[in-house]
Amino acid sequence: LPASLDMTEDVRQKTLKSLRVVITCFLNSCKEDFCQPPRYSTLYHFIKHVPDRDLQKQGQTLLEDFKIDEETNQLNNDNNKSKTNALYNEKGFDYIQPWNILEISSTIIAEQLTIVDADLLKRVLPYECLTPSTSGCSRRTPSNNSNRTLSTIDKTIEFFNAVVARVIATILKEQDEEQRSHVIEKWIDVAHQCRKIKNFSSLTAILNGLLSGCIYRLNTAWSYVTQDYQSILEELKKVFGSCADRKEARAILDKVILIKNSFKI
C-alpha cells in the first residue's frame, strides 16, 4: 500500500495499522473459516501473500494449531477403532447386541440428549447466527470437500435432524403395529422428560419425528397408544408443535431465563 498524492505517509500508516487490527481480529474470532483440512488452501494462500510479517506469523501459528488438532483427532479415531476391534475379537464378544430403546430409561435418554445439545449450543459462535442460511463455505454438500468443517450452527442443525431421523427409524423398523405403539409411547415419554429438564431443542426434534407424515399416518399403531400418552402429546403439541402459538413457548423460556438469572451472584 504505497503512499501517493491522495494519501500521505501518516494516513498510510494509520490505514495499515487499522488493517492489521481487523485481520488479527478475523484470524482470532473467525478461525473456523480457515479450517479446511487436509490442504488448508485458504490459510496457505494468506500466509504466502500477506506482506506483514506479524500477520504471517499469526497465520503460520494458526496453521500449526489446525494440524495438531487434525493429528490428535486422527489418533483418537485410530485408538477407538483398535479398541472396538479388540472388543469384537475378544472371546464372548463376537457380536454385540444393539440396544433396545424400550429397555433404556426415558430420563437417561433425555439427559443424554440434553448433554449433547448443551455442548453444541455452548460452542455456537455469535457471528454465525447472523447469516446461518448463507454460510455455504462451511457446509458439506456433494460438490464440496467432505472434510470441510461444519459451522457451529450447522452442527446444531445436524444433531436436531439426527434426532428426528432416529425417532422415525426406531418406530418404522418395528414390523408389529403394537410394538410400534410402544416405541411411540417411549418417545412421547422422552419428550415429556425433555420438557421437565427444559431441553426444548430435543423436545421439538422428537415432536417433529412423531408428527412427520410417515409416522402420523400409522393409524393402526396410533390406535394402540394409550389415552394418557396421547394426552401428553397433545399438551406438548399445543406449546412446542410446528403449528403452536410461540408466545406460550417464549413465555416458558423467558421464565427459565429469569429463574436462572435470579440465582446469579
- Give dist(CA 35, CA 125) in Å, integer: 15
Q: Give the three-class secondary structure for 4.
A: strand
Q: Give the three-class secondary structure for 7.
A: strand
Nearest by Cα to 144 from 132, 156, 155, 135 = 135
**Domains delineated in the chain:** 9-89 (no CATH), 101-262 (1.10.840.10)
β-sheet bridge partners, residue 4: 7
Q: Which residues, other chains included, contact 220 with Cβ-Cβ below 8 Å and sequence gap of 6+?
A: 177
> Would you write out the chain's pLDDT as a tens digit for each of its 265 residues?
555 556 777 888 888 889 899 998 888 888 878 888 888 898 999 999 998 899 999 999 999 998 998 888 888 777 766 665 665 555 454 555 567 899 999 999 999 999 999 999 999 888 887 765 444 444 444 444 445 567 888 999 999 999 999 999 999 999 999 999 999 999 999 999 999 998 999 999 999 999 999 999 999 999 999 999 999 999 998 877 655 556 666 666 666 555 555 445 4
